[in-house]
Structure 1
Amino acid sequence: MYYSYSEYLKEKYGQKVYKLPVNLPVSCPNRKEGAGCSFCADEGTGFEAADSMETVNGQLKSSREKVEKRYHAKRFIAYFQNYTNTFLPLEQLMAYMREAGNVDNIVEICLSTRPDCIRRDYLEAMADFREKTGIQVSLELGLQTVNYHTLRAVNRGHGLAEFLDAVLTIAPYHFPVCVHMILNLPGDTMEDAKEAAKILSALPVSMVKLHSLYIPKKSVLYQEYRNGRISICAKEEYLERLAEFIALLRPDIAVERLFARIPEKDSAFCNWGHSWWKLMDEWKALMEEKQYVQGIHCDYLNGAALNRWGL
């Protein structure tokens, strides 16, 4: 039905690989320069990770012990997940990466960041790290939506151009890119979801992570939600958007996540009051009803008009 991230990792590494979350003592330019994204709150940057004041080594070893015990895992990805991990002096970032790389059985480091925090000297240093250690590096870019009106409304602090520039700048270094998307931000429509799938498919993107919108209680968006200034699409509409997105998505792009997964106590709105696995069951039933699989409608690349006319 869709190409899962777990399948992607198993193909890449020949076995199951598990992510270990790491929180660095880092912020975000959008928070430094203003209020930050309207949907963001401290808790939303890493529900599963340890305190950012704990060492990288300590965080990884603590998480690894739990995962090893529960899943008998042998290979791990160090996931630098909170805020903007390239919003650090380069040498400081590389020191954190080296610390993570020295932990046993780390095969990859994944860095979550913003499109406007990608620069060639950082990529050069990451490529050098990969060559010297043999540890892979991947980058997760937060885009959220391709609608520039919505990007402005949620105060992302960047537009689509910065995202395109980041992906194309990363491409020559062959770092897998994961794109973080929210298909039901206030103001977005089905057409935005479809266009997002097409834009990602036309770019050198390896993975996508989809979150249904959740509203942290300590976010700016919560105030707008509480005062009735925004509306959120119905659950059924989100499932339809998700189905169309996956149908249009290039078949070789791995899907890491489809729904938000956060503690209920931290959120004023999440998944329409349903568990993520219940929504997953409903979405799979919808996909079967539509006879959809990932990429079934990905026929718009490589000279689509020429292909339609048999030229």
Structure 2
Amino acid sequence: MSNHLKQRYGAKVHRLIIDAGFTCPNREKSSPCIFCDPTGSGFNAFHSLSIREQVEKQRQWAISKYKAEKFIVYFQAFTNTYAPVDVLKRKYEEAIIDKSIVQLAVSTRPDCVQEPVLEILESFKSRVDVSLELGLQTINPKTLRIIKRGHGLAEFIDAVLRVKKHNLEIVVHVIVDLPWDEIEDVIDTARTISCLGVDGVKLHSLYVVKGTELEKLLKTGQIQLLSFDQYKDRVIAFLENLSENIVIHRLASDPPKDMTIVGNWGMSKLEVVNKIEKELEIRNTCQGKNFKRWLHSQMYVTKI
């Protein structure tokens, strides 16, 4: 992904994690997703600082450590379109502090992208690239209910179609090792988002954070997490059935060490990624290998 960004923007690019103080409709109306941590996945953000201060502090750190020159401001914690549009516009505006910011990335839910929100996001395109990251996780309706996502596949499809009308980049989040899914669900998820023409995908390995419902399920023996070999098989199946035109932003999660009970099978994210890439070479396979074949078969179905 870093090479893709460098080619795209002509310089070293670093993502700055922003906590804008949003919440989530799930937390307000019922209960959070069973895997959601108390920070809403914003554990790397400087929560006590203003948005501008977060950007400036992280930017200086990224320049010092990575020699980054350009930056993506990533609104990550909780649901970053879940607020009145005037509040959203003000908070997005605060993050774009100068021309070193080349992209506004906003993480949200498929059921929280109403038209006024999309119009606000589109209005920023004259200054920066804009991407919307949609948490899908799986297309399996039973699994979506179990993990308490609060939306179904229909909401996701509707969101993607409407986002595309506003010419915004779409990145989809998927957890391929949910214990309630089969590998067929992983393959169908890859094919579905490919047919919808999304721009990018982030694959997440399921990790268990302290204080979550997922932790309770694990400790009481109600679920059993998948092994790394199973995860590896699912990632490869997903990639093989994913359009080669979709950019892979990540292949595994990076769990917060001080909050995680179980994550990445005791390996670093880099180790997980390296093992997956090595296995792809061993199997002589690649992204899109089976998707092309499947898509071709759908175009020439024999009528009975």
The alignment's TM-score, normalised by the length of structure 1, stands at 0.93
1:78 match: secondary structure: strand
1:76 aligns with 2:64: no
Letter of the structure 1 residue corresponding to residue 67 of structure 2: H
Cα distance in 2 between the residues matched to 1:147 and 1:243 = 19
Larger deviation, residues 162-171 vs 101-110:
101-110
Look up the match of 2:3.
7
| Contact 2:118–2:166 under 8 Å retained in 1 | yes
Question: Which deviates more, 276-285 or 34-43?
Answer: 276-285
Which segments of 5 or more consecutive residues in structure 2 lack a partner in the other structure? none
* Cα RMSD (Å): 1.6
Aligned partner of 1:231 among 221, 224, 228: 224
Choose from 119, 131, 136 the match for 2:129: 136
Aligned counterpart, 1:180 = 173
Alignment correspondent of 1:29: 25
Question: How do 1:145-294 and structure 2 match up within 5 A?
Answer: 145-294=138-287
Question: What is the SS of the residue equivalent to 1:297?
Answer: helix
Q: Which amino acid aligns with 1:130?
A: K
Whether the aligned pair in 2 keeps the contact of 1:216 and 1:266 (CA below 8 Å) is yes
Structure 1 counterpart SS, 2:292: coil
Quick check: 1:87 aligned with 2:57?
Answer: no
Q: Is residue 71–residue 100 contact of structure 2 (8 Å, CA) maintained in 1?
A: yes
Q: TM-score of the superposition, structure 2-length normalised?
A: 0.95
Conserved in 2, the CA contact under 8 Å of 1:139 and 1:176? Answer: yes
Give me the whole-angstrom Cα distance separating, in 1, the residues matched to 2:295 and 2:205. 31
Report the equivalent of 1:20. Answer: 16
Task: Tell me the CA shift for residue 44 of structure 1.
Answer: 5.0
What is the letter of the counterpart of residue 220 of structure 2? N
What CA distance in whole angstroms lies between the structure 2 residues aligned with 1:269 and 1:174? 39
1:41 paired residue number: 37
Aligned twin of 2:97:
102
Q: Is the 8 A contact 1:57 1:103 kept in 2?
A: no
5+ residue gaps, structure 1, are none
Distance 1:120 1:14 in 2: 33
CA distance in 2, matches of 1:7, 1:253: 15
Aligned match for 1:114, one of 109, 113, 133: 109
Aligned length: 302
- Alignment check: 8 A CA contact 2:18 2:45 kept: yes
Instruction: Encode CA deviations 1:7-62: one digit per residue, 9 max, x unaligned.
Output: 332332222211111101110001101111011121452121111x4211100000
Paired with 1:279 and 1:302, the residues of 2 have a C-alpha distance of: 30
SS in 1 for 2:215: helix
**SS where residue 249 of structure 1 aligns?**
coil
Distance 1:181 1:75, change over 3 A: same
In structure 1, distance between residues paired with 2:10 and 2:137: 31
Shift of 1:183: 0.5
Q: Tell me the percent identity.
A: 36
Cα pair 1:186 1:232 within 8 Å, conserved: yes
